[in-house]
Amino acid sequence: VLYIAAGPSLDDNIEWIKQNHNKFFIVTIGAAYKKLLLNDIHIDIISTLDQDFKILNEKQFDDESVKKIPRNTIIFASNMTNEKILKKFTQ
């Protein structure tokens, strides 16, 4: 299992992750998944605990980005996650 979060170390290690992602079950947080998708890195689980709709909708789970999440990716969301965000995942 490779757990990936956002931050400088993600940028520092993105090439290594690209080369090795098929060797791992990838778990990431909502703040990092878009960068992984942009680099063609598969994601098995995305987790989110945030509840602020505006931040989540604008920065993490905008409609265009949500459409790019593969159907087999599991999303773990907090019970505090705004219902409007949760409805985006019903597909």
The pLDDT, as a whole number, for residue 90 is: 66
Residue of 26, 41, 2, 17 whose CA lies nearest to 74: 26
Cβ atoms of 57 and 27 closer than 8 Å: no
Cβ atoms of 27 and 41 closer than 8 Å: no
pLDDT tens figures, 61-84: 888 888 899 889 999 988 888 788
Q: For residues 76 and 66, what is the distance between their CA atoms, to the nearest angstrom?
A: 14
The pLDDT, as a whole number, for residue 49 is: 78
Q: For residues 39 and 41, what is the distance between their CA atoms, to the nearest angstrom?
A: 6
The pLDDT, as a whole number, for residue 61 is: 84
Q: Which two tokens stand for residue 75?
A: 């999303």
pLDDT tens figures, 4-63: 999 999 999 999 999 999 999 999 998 899 999 999 999 999 988 777 777 776 778 888
